[in-house]
Amino acid sequence: MVTRTARLQDFRTEGYPGSGLPVQVLAEDHVGTYILPFPCQHINGEWRNGTTGEAVQASILGWREVQTESRDRTSPAQQSPKA
């Protein structure tokens, strides 16, 4: 099981992202710590769901830029042969 301290290492805990910038957040409530499954924005001093605009009802411990998976979109047939 990943500890709270280990999870915090991957997130910024100081300051806030630019207003309206969608980010991933590490939240904490009575259940424990977890990454919210939707992008969030820090707007007018409040964390909001970046999709619905609703206020987040958990304590936010940290944030990081949204991480996207990069996939190689070239099919194997189109890749150049390795020497």
Residue 74 lies in a domain: no
Maximum mean pLDDT: which of 14-23, 46-55, 67-76:
46-55
Structure tokens at 41: 């924005």
- Asked if the structure places residue 75 within a domain, the reply is no
Question: pTM score, two decimals?
Answer: 0.73
Which pLDDT tens digit goes with each residue over 35-70? 999 999 999 999 999 999 999 999 999 999 986 665
Q: How far apart are CA 69 and CA 33, in angstroms?
A: 23
Q: Which residue has the tokens 């910038």?
A: 21
Split into its structural domains, the chain has a count of 1
Q: Looking up tokens 């969608």, which residue turns up?
A: 22
User: Residue 24 pairs with which residues in a beta bridge?
Assistant: 64
Domain membership flag for residue 59:
yes
